[in-house]
Structure 1
Amino acid sequence: MSGGYATAAVLEKVEAAFMYQLESGTPAPAVTDMGMASEWIGGGAVLAVRRDVTEYWNKAVGFGFDEPVTDELIGRVCEFYRKHDAPMAVLQIAPAALPDDWDDIRAHYGLEPGGAVVKSTHDLLFIDAQKTDLGVGEVDVHGARQWASTLLRAFGMPEEGLAEMIAAAVGSPGFRCYAAWDGDEIVAVGGAFVHGDVTELWGGATLPSHQRRGAQSSLLAIRLLDAKAAGCRMAVVETAAEGPGERNQSFHNVLRLGFSPQYERRNWVWRPARQAR
């Protein structure tokens, strides 16, 4: 993998902008009900969802570029999560932005290594259309709730509270949301977030009943084509990293469509009980 500091700065900042706008755009009743909070700290997006049972949405990303990653910066991030009674949080820092004393910093705050993702990019020069027997296209606001429901069910997440957040992305500035239909039913989804001349691809998922019918490859292709038409120079996507003996079909789908892996980024998991005093 070839991604260096300059590449990481672009990719991490795009993801931070996407995550911040997604969570901060949640309708007020759901924000209150789910205990949501969002803030920019040291150039990174820091997002809390107190009632998140999935351990996915308490997330901090985008650090090390506006200011360096230091013990003091991580302390501010952890204090944010304490303030908002978050049960846990995942800090995501590109390897190129980790300081030499990272092991000491993470030990101080009780950060434990979790899973990892691979950040991959596409230069949008050559995009092959993909075939599926499903109908594929962009979703408008009338289909927002069904789109959100399909995304959450496909990822095994509860709809309460989260559906309002996901549905609010449809039609919001910067967001474009796509689906594959079987008749009138949305059976697969994929989102795009345009930030400057880079598009972040997110939320690619298919219901188990409709997997292996080409939905995700087609949704990737249409998002890449639309990103190119919008004047973007690059698209970026995250997929789970493969462990020994594992095969992640999403990762191999993006490789097949011309994406290039840039770097693998470790999750660092914070829980309040682990933090050293």
Structure 2
Amino acid sequence: MHSDRIPLFCDTALAARVERDEVDLISAAAQAAHRRRGDGRGFLLPIARDVASFADDGSPYNKVAGLGFAGIPHADELDAIERAFADRNAPAQIELAHLADPEIAALLTTRGYRLESFENVLGRTLDGHAGAPAPPGIEVRRSGDDEFEAWLSVVADSVARPDVQGVPWHEEFPRETYELAERDAARAGVLRYAAFRDGTLAGGAGLRLTDGIAQFAGAATSPAHRRHGVQTALLTARLGDAAAAGCEIGVIVTQPGSKSQQNAQRRGFDLLYTRAVLVKNLPSCDAAATTS
């Protein structure tokens, strides 16, 4: 990394662009889940020109994405999505960028939404300087359909035993739910990368290229192979491919203070903005929280 590098500045226009691509990813993954289920249970509902998604029971794609850059949602829109989630026995979850219209956070608070956690959105310009090559013994390459099951097994095992550095994710998913979500992501255009350490499949990661932005999907490393440069090598390989594909900006989402954030910043990513995760629980959940 060059010492005179200028950090990437994020204004509301860039944040809106990144959030639009997030909406596109969530929508594509949810549509893949709907096709997989084929029972009409899922939904994609418009809200203030953004989207509320229910992909599958317990799916990480069950959320409202992109809100805050295309107007204030109307009360009837919020009523409709809250009913839709409640009808599927799911809480309404909204991920709201801190650069979004501040009136929305105030509105959601009056409707009973509670702050549950934060996640950081980091980005960097893609100038062809991906970083140092992988350490000796580590190889990263695109992972094809022929090894999907092996890739999924390693990634799912790794996610089940998360790295404890930093603030933990506010959500935990059963293994079966996580695996289904990864299958939906693959059908949504997320490319897979596999990392090998001394010939052993040690980790994996995803990458989605859209609208000039490279979305770096979650990377996971087996516990036995952590702290050996695997995650950094996965990031470096994807940076190079994203730049070669003509993307202008790379974006990655991490938990605050995590090893993933540290690795991303070492590779030139800057903190662009933070998303607040706001949740309106089902009435029975709220009652239980009050009496506990």
Structure 1 and Structure 2 fold alike (TM over 0.5) = yes
Match of 2:231 in 1: 216
Q: Which runs of 5+ in 1 are unaligned?
A: 243-247
Residue in 2 that maps onto 1:245: none
1:250 match: secondary structure: helix
- Match of residue 175, structure 2, among 159, 172, 176: 159
User: What letter corresponds to residue 225 of structure 2 in structure 1?
Assistant: H
Q: CA deviation at 1:147?
A: 2.2
Tell me whether 1:231 sits opposite 2:246 in the alignment.
yes
* Offset at residue 198 of structure 1 (A): 0.7
Normalising to structure 2: TM-score of the pair?
0.80
TM (normalized to structure 1)? 0.84
1:43 equivalent in alignment to 2:45: no
Higher mean alpha-carbon deviation, 94-103 vs 202-211, is at 94-103
The count of residues paired between Structure 1 and Structure 2 equals: 264
Structure-2 residue corresponding to 1:68: 72
* C-alpha displacement of 1:204: 1.1
Letter aligned with residue 134 of structure 1: I
RMSD: 2.7
The answer to whether the 8 Å contact 1:90/1:267 transfers is yes
SS for the counterpart of 2:215 is: strand
After superposition, residues 164-203 of structure 1 pair within 5 angstroms as 164-170=180-186, 172=187, 174-182=189-197, 185-203=200-218
Task: Name the structure 2 match of 1:5.
Answer: 12
Structure 2 gaps, min length 5? 1-7, 161-172, 288-292
Question: How far 1:30 moved relative to its partner?
Answer: 4.7
Code of the residue aligned with 2:262 in structure 1: it is H
1:260 aligns with 2:270: yes
Say whether the 8 Å CA contact 2:26–2:61 is kept in structure 1. Answer: no
Distance 1:30 1:150 in 2: 25
Letter in 2 for 1:265: R
Report 1:86-101 matches (<5 A): 86=90, 88-100=91-103
- Equivalence map 1:48-127=2 (5 Å): 48-49=54-55, 51-52=57-58, 56-86=60-90, 88-100=91-103, 102-103=105-106, 105-125=107-127, 126-127=129-130
Residue 25 of structure 1, CA deviation: 1.4
Per-residue deviation, 1:268 = 0.4
Secondary structure, aligned partner of 1:93: strand
Contact 1:30 1:161 in 2 (8 A): no
Q: Quick one: distance in 2 between partners of 1:147 and 1:23?
A: 22
